[in-house]
A and B are shown apart, each in its own frame.
Chain A
């Protein structure tokens, strides 16, 4: 036997042994996990089900457990999470739902150098005679492009399915680690007999946790590990609830939120982005004003951001300078990248985008720069720390990640102007506009001294806009030919405030803004721009022209479909044009016009006469059914809104009109209003409608009143005019 052969045999043996021990280790770990989750003496087995109580249900969750474990080992921190559910299948629908599973299993590397993870999945069935059948997951699994699919054998109605997903992830860290936040409502679609949520963490970790809206309080459980604390919330007999519209789940239903941090020392604790307890091993349940101040006192320093000494000092009006400054930051934070996106759309790849001196798409940078600007201008201002309303207000502030920033400036003329981060509306953000979800929410105001340094903190509240601030105004003209086979509709739609985003969606495209900013104008292009376009300038411009033409065709098709859906009619010859883009202070409104021919769906033959379904011309309105009437949740909305419709209908020759009075409706209460009038002037019918919703929040007690408004608007859509020959 020569040396090569000996070496080969040795290598094969070595590798073989290695592989065997790897497989054994994997199996050992999987068995450990199984024993941990499905304990040999499982207390869950003792849970009793009263079948008669659930006879009308599709399935019942006997037990459900969400488990989060946080630990550290040398330079690594790791998490061990699992979700276990034991569910009884009571009908064909839940049998279908639980007969197949998709899952991940095995090792993976979420971050190539710093992290590794592993997943396990397991399942067993308990038959009505209590016989436990362990599913051979591997045998019953097929792989499809890396995904694993399992078909559960021998599953029948009446069986109990018990399964878990387990995940382990570890991260190398020297500077501390902020784990993923958990925010969840405890709403369920199947009834739950018992559920536990357990957080098990090393005593050296920091832990923020809050139970909201009647969710059970966190309790400390006895821990088998002296170095760790185990906390849990338990719920029993949880009833299912259906999802409802106009609800913020974290505010309306029992919910929890928490986050865990690892900070090796006090300096790193201070640097951690979060509100951490002063001591390790305790649960932090709330955040005080002073803690917020402490956390932000060194932030937003104006000195960090360089800039011109005075921005456009030749312009006299401060307001104008502020607006220009805001626009400049919007350009360098976002608009500057537009050519690259356009390039990608045309050529399929983006090219190397420029690195601007300061990245204003970063909210910290943006507000620091504003601070710098306002200090130089000697304008008083605060930086507000505010959450989106669906995440609650100051009262239940706990996770720093939930905070957004808004600069509140006090202009010399006494006006207060809010300046929100550009990231709220990257290409359209304008000074003075405030995201709907901020409105009316409580916030903390960081008070700044003359040098722009954080000096103190106050509780404050963001303003609530009025319906008149968020208006959509539609002016519609209808012309009907004598044969009634063509109805021409032309209209202008104007939107202000927080209605703009909805209205412009699908109407304005990146190309409109690209052309608007004159980026495509080759004469004015910078060197960088020329670089993007490349040497083949002519080719690029031809392709750009083609792309713009195609983009317009796509929008025409989409808007045609949108209008067919809105008015429930068949249309043709759709055309539109944008009148105001709503990107500058001189042109804050967004406005466009459109025209099309309605082929069918707006009239019905009635002998020699015609029924005109004029009510449909305000578009579809919400219908409230019997079930919706019984709503128990409060009502959450974005901004207060006002929608105005003016509809002018030219009466065809030789026809008279009947039924105008049905278009006169009026309801007004504390939640909103719907007022409509109709009149005839010569050969024209003029219908005016104003529909308003006054609040961002109404208590459930007001639901009936809101329904009154909603039902009136729905009823309006049902009204018809008789055109009598």
Chain B
């Protein structure tokens, strides 16, 4: 799917930049004072070096005679001030085959242009082999506090369907920004305001008689800089932005052109691309026959095809112009043995059809995207899968997710709305969700003291996504390194944790639970002083690093999580447990923690259950988590005390 324009996250890629001679004007005493005050204001935000004092942005819809269609002209002006001792920043504008950057310059505060090198190159995106996303950028240095520069650019978006959203935050915090949408009478556009809550954003609507256009003016004050935290949700959940929905426009000849007035229009366009495909299923007919001949049931045949595509088609993404939306022909993907999500979905659909099943191409926005198909926009989806109807029941098959068994769904597509092709029409359905228990991880550990060490046995069982993630990682490791990699996965490179007799269930089987058994010696885990012994009962310390003291956004887990860990510790004879950490019991909609300690005869049973049923800790629950985390942290740092009777 088309690369989402996450310019703020990609900016971080622009590490190196060039400096040429700059036209410099030193700050006045007033500017210095202002910079100092701003430095105080942002003192808790270490990454803020430069502030945008004032910005003006305009998005103007205009009929373009050259392109013979409606285009969007974007113009932007910023006044930047350094609030640190000195600063280096990069300014960048992203564009692609549907847009051009027509102006890009940096000026001194007295409006003299800085003639410095402007780079123009492809954006490096790890997951994509090739795409059309480019960036123009330059870097400049602010030599002292209070120094100012101006940055201006203009961009032309040559087709309004690709103009999907305007984000209201930038890499630097903004003191004041005015964003205008200039919409002539001939254009029917809806502006959908997203995530405005909590921000100082004022809206004004007026008619500009000269331009014969309605102007929507948003005035933003004190906007924070975009921030990056690990395990963040996609930007559409977090940042204030406008979803631009261009319904239609009337051209100079008074002809009305529909863009995406409703979801039907979006499907119509997608379907028009599908209709252009010249499919040749004959190329893989023999392979389909080979894959299905041994299977006796429909499910068996479907699995054979689904798993073959998972295992044999490499995911290599091309997102070049229209190729960002139009799948590659199925026979091409089959013959090349690689493709992107659209190509893989198309091949899987083609192969299942060839085998006689009702399979359909299906568009979907993964959980990274906050919208569903009630919004007719290219911004609502970013992925393609295949929907298979078997005995009237839909199954959603994502061939890019290796080692996912038939009937299970990767977290990123669970619960997401899908648009399924149905000839000239379409169907809207939702991918089923699995509960956290589906991904259960069970650790069962027996443990006793031997000298300064703890020794024992561990059995680990992985289900659902926890199993799939393991298989995905493990099966991409070199054969001769697999043994070491498995050991490293289990011991985390801890030199004190020595593992022997590691046994696993069949690591190539995606359908059965994965189990791993091993014996262990945990060196230096016992601290003895005369008649006292101290031990750390919890080796794994799950979620022990999840300190949200400074966190601003919701925390997204890789998948719904359910961990159940039981440690049965043999109390050495002649000793009794005098101190042990206090148990924890927390029950929140986003997380449930139950940890208990119980002495049963000569054994201490340590039981830990942690469930994250939504794979997300919402922003509103961060404080609750922090409270629970403090308890958890205290527990993890507290030793079990044994004293000689």
Query: Would you call A58 and B481 a contact (CB within 8 A)?
Result: yes
The answer, yes or no, to whether A471 is at the interface (CB within 8 Å) is no
Query: Would you call A90 and B479 a contact (CB within 8 A)?
Result: yes
Query: Would you call A539 and B26 a contact (CB within 8 A)?
Result: yes
Query: Would you call B638 and A605 a contact (CB within 8 A)?
Result: yes
The answer, yes or no, to whether A722 is at the interface (CB within 8 Å) is yes
Residues of the B chain whose Cβ atoms lie less than 8 Å from the Cβ of A214: none
Q: Which of B559-603 contact A (CB under 8 A)?
A: 578-579
A705 to B532, CA, bound (A): 34
Residues of the A chain whose Cβ atoms lie less than 8 Å from the Cβ of B86: 543, 546-547, 549-550
Residues of the B chain whose Cβ atoms lie less than 8 Å from the Cβ of A724: 529
Q: Which of A583-608 contact B (CB under 8 A)?
A: 600, 603-608
A236 to B277, CA, bound (A): 50
The answer, yes or no, to whether A346 is at the interface (CB within 8 Å) is yes
Contact of A151 among B20, B22, B129 (CB under 8 A): B129
Query: Would you call A93 and B130 a contact (CB within 8 A)?
Result: no
Residues of the A chain whose Cβ atoms lie less than 8 Å from the Cβ of B21: 347-349
Residues of the A chain whose Cβ atoms lie less than 8 Å from the Cβ of B496: 718
The answer, yes or no, to whether A677 is at the interface (CB within 8 Å) is no
Q: Which of B425-481 contact A (CB under 8 A)?
A: 475-481
The answer, yes or no, to whether A24 is at the interface (CB within 8 Å) is no
A100 to B478, CA, bound (A): 17
Known: A96-B476, A714-B495. A722 touches B143 (CB 8 A): no
Closest A residue, CB atoms, query B25: A539
Known: A346-B143, A550-B84. A58 touches B19 (CB 8 A): no
A-B contact count (CB 8 A): 135
Please give the number of chain B residues whose Cβ is less than 8 angstroms from any Cβ of chain A in the complex. Answer: 52
Known: A99-B314, A543-B144. A625 touches B476 (CB 8 A): no
The answer, yes or no, to whether A445 is at the interface (CB within 8 Å) is no
Which stretch of A141-149, A451-459, A519-527 is in the interface?
A141-149
Contact of B639 among A542, A546, A604 (CB under 8 A): A604
Residues of the B chain whose Cβ atoms lie less than 8 Å from the Cβ of A722: 527, 529, 532, 534
Query: Would you call A720 and B122 a contact (CB within 8 A)?
Result: no
Residues of the A chain whose Cβ atoms lie less than 8 Å from the Cβ of B534: 604, 606, 611, 722
Which stretch of A153-161, A381-389, A641-649 is in the interface?
A153-161
Most chain A beta carbons < 10 A, residue from B145, B338, B536: B338
Contact of B338 among A57, A99, A604, A658 (CB under 8 A): A99
Query: Would you call B144 and A542 a contact (CB within 8 A)?
Result: yes
Residues of the A chain whose Cβ atoms lie less than 8 Å from the Cβ of B498: 626
Residues of the A chain whose Cβ atoms lie less than 8 Å from the Cβ of B479: 56-58, 90-91, 93
Closest A residue, CB atoms, query B475: A92
Query: Would you call A625 and B532 a contact (CB within 8 A)?
Result: no
Closest B residue, CB atoms, query A601: B637
Query: Would you call A623 and B85 a contact (CB within 8 A)?
Result: no
Query: Would you call A659 and B20 a contact (CB within 8 A)?
Result: no
Report, as a range, how many residues of chain A touch the other chain: 35 or more
Contact of B143 among A547, A659, A718, A720 (CB under 8 A): A547
A407 to B578, CA, bound (A): 70
The answer, yes or no, to whether B62 is at the interface (CB within 8 Å) is no
Q: Mark B124-157, 1 if CB is under 8 A from A, else 0.
A: 0000011000000000010111000000000000
The answer, yes or no, to whether B287 is at the interface (CB within 8 Å) is no
Closest B residue, CB atoms, query A144: B122
Known: A546-B144, A625-B495, A722-B527. A91 touches B336 (CB 8 A): no
Q: Which of B276-333 contact A (CB under 8 A)?
A: 312, 314, 316, 318, 320
The answer, yes or no, to whether A94 is at the interface (CB within 8 Å) is yes
Closest A residue, CB atoms, query B82: A546
Known: A156-B337, A611-B534, A659-B529. A57 touches B480 (CB 8 A): yes
Q: Mark A542-570, 1 if CB is under 8 A from B, else 0.
A: 11011101100100000000000000000
A95 to B475, CA, bound (A): 11
Residues of the B chain whose Cβ atoms lie less than 8 Å from the Cβ of A154: 335-337
Contact of A349 among B20, B145, B481, B530 (CB under 8 A): B20
Q: Which residues of A come within 8 Å of B, CB atoms?
A: 56-58, 90-96, 99-100, 142, 144-145, 149, 151, 153-156, 240, 346-349, 536, 539, 542-543, 545-547, 549-550, 553, 600, 603-609, 611, 623-627, 658-659, 714-715, 718, 720, 722, 724
Q: Which residues of B come within 8 Å of A, CB atoms?
A: 19-22, 24, 26, 84-86, 121-122, 129-130, 141, 143-145, 312, 314, 316, 318, 320, 335-338, 475-481, 484, 495-496, 498, 523-524, 527, 529-530, 532, 534, 536, 578-579, 634, 637-639, 641
29 contacts between A and B (CB under 8 A): A57-B479, A58-B480, A93-B476, A142-B129, A142-B318, A142-B320, A145-B121, A145-B122, A155-B337, A347-B143, A348-B19, A348-B20, A348-B21, A542-B26, A546-B85, A546-B86, A546-B143, A546-B144, A547-B86, A604-B637, A605-B639, A606-B638, A607-B579, A608-B579, A611-B534, A611-B639, A624-B495, A625-B495, A718-B496
19 new A-B contacts at CB < 8 Å, known A156-B337, A604-B534: A56-B479, A56-B480, A90-B479, A91-B479, A92-B476, A99-B316, A144-B130, A149-B130, A151-B316, A347-B22, A347-B143, A348-B21, A543-B143, A546-B86, A546-B145, A547-B86, A625-B495, A659-B527, A718-B523
Closest 5 CB pairs of A and B: A348-B19, A623-B495, A607-B579, A58-B478, A153-B336
